[in-house]
Amino acid sequence: MVKWKRDMGLEGRMVLTMFLLAAVYLLFLAFLASMGTSMGVMLLFIGLFMGLQYYYSDRLVLWSMKATVVSEEEEPKIHQTVTRLCAMADLPKPRIAIVRTPVPNAFATGKSPGSAVVAVTTGLMDRLNQGELEAVLAHELSHVKNRDMTILTIASFLSTVAFFFVRYSMYFGGFGNNRKGGGNIIVIWLVSIGVWLVSFLLIRALSRYREFAADRGAAMITGNPANLTSALMKISDVMPRIPTEDLRKVEGMNAFFIIPAVSGSIMNLFSTHPSMEKRIAALEKMQREMES
């Protein structure tokens, strides 16, 4: 069994992200209340949406990716690999799902380690050797071990509250009696855009750090950072050759993937992942430390 080292940097960032998001949304709710929006409507909508998100988030993620949970009889090799890695990482074995797409990738989802699902694509299994596949699976199990997938799911939900509430509250007459010529609606829309942008940037910053943490976790579990380096390079090399249509079908899940499926260039500030150069440099440093 691997002696797991707690990543205080990741834990601190998760706590800070949730604290800042909570502060932003409390201010947002206070603003809506000051504009005459019914508090009852706000609480009902948010409570319902949070309940659905918490209980069905993993199913929605799998459904959006058209992932199919497979039994050990259907995919014995990958089940055996995950079972061995879980024993090393002291984790309950997650369910395994397969996504039939040429895009080589993997992700983990679920509310907790006990309800986690690790999914891999057929494109990934076709392109990686056993050592590389183990490294990718260990990376996803590190997300489960760190519980950052839960935080990311909750944080991603919070970033949509402003948009959905502003979009639908008008149908409930939620803007109250203070509305004058639609001016308040414009102000609320502007504030909601600001709230969404702050949430978006906080989530992206957390997402980038969590990938570094999962890379370190994979290296600890497998004891061979070079395999993950090789896997990342293979996936990165293949991604530009994947048809744009296939990438666009899955790029909404980029924050969960081991490497983002992007159909165009994006700025680092808005990226869900650190640059490939930085990830490989960190893994190579770990490899040298282990060898010495």
Contacts by 195-199, CB closer than 8 A, 24 or more apart: 195/24, 195/25, 195/28, 195/162, 196/159, 196/162, 196/163, 198/20, 198/24, 199/21, 199/24, 199/155, 199/158, 199/159, 199/162
Residue 278 CB-density burial (10 A; 0-12 exposed, 13-18 middle, 19+ buried)? middle
Contacts of 228 (CB under 8 A, 6+ apart): 132, 135, 136, 138, 139, 215, 218, 219, 222, 283
Please state, in angstroms and as integers, the Cα–Cα distance from residue 72 to each residue in 40, 80, 93, 94, 121, following that order.
48, 8, 12, 12, 16
Please state, in angstroms and as integers, the Cα–Cα distance from residue 161 to each residue in 59, 139, 245, following that order.
20, 30, 29
Measured over the CA atoms of residue 221, residue 122, residue 57 and residue 19, the dihedral's sign is: positive
Q: Is 65 left (phi over 0), alpha (psi -120 to 50) or beta?
A: alpha
Looking up tokens 């050592």 gives: 131
Tokens of residue 19, six digits: 């604290």
User: Which of the residues are catalytic?
Assistant: 140
Tokens of residue 291, six digits: 């060898």
Cα-flanking dihedrals φ and ψ of residue 81, to 5°? Answer: -65, -45
Looking up tokens 């009902």 gives: 44
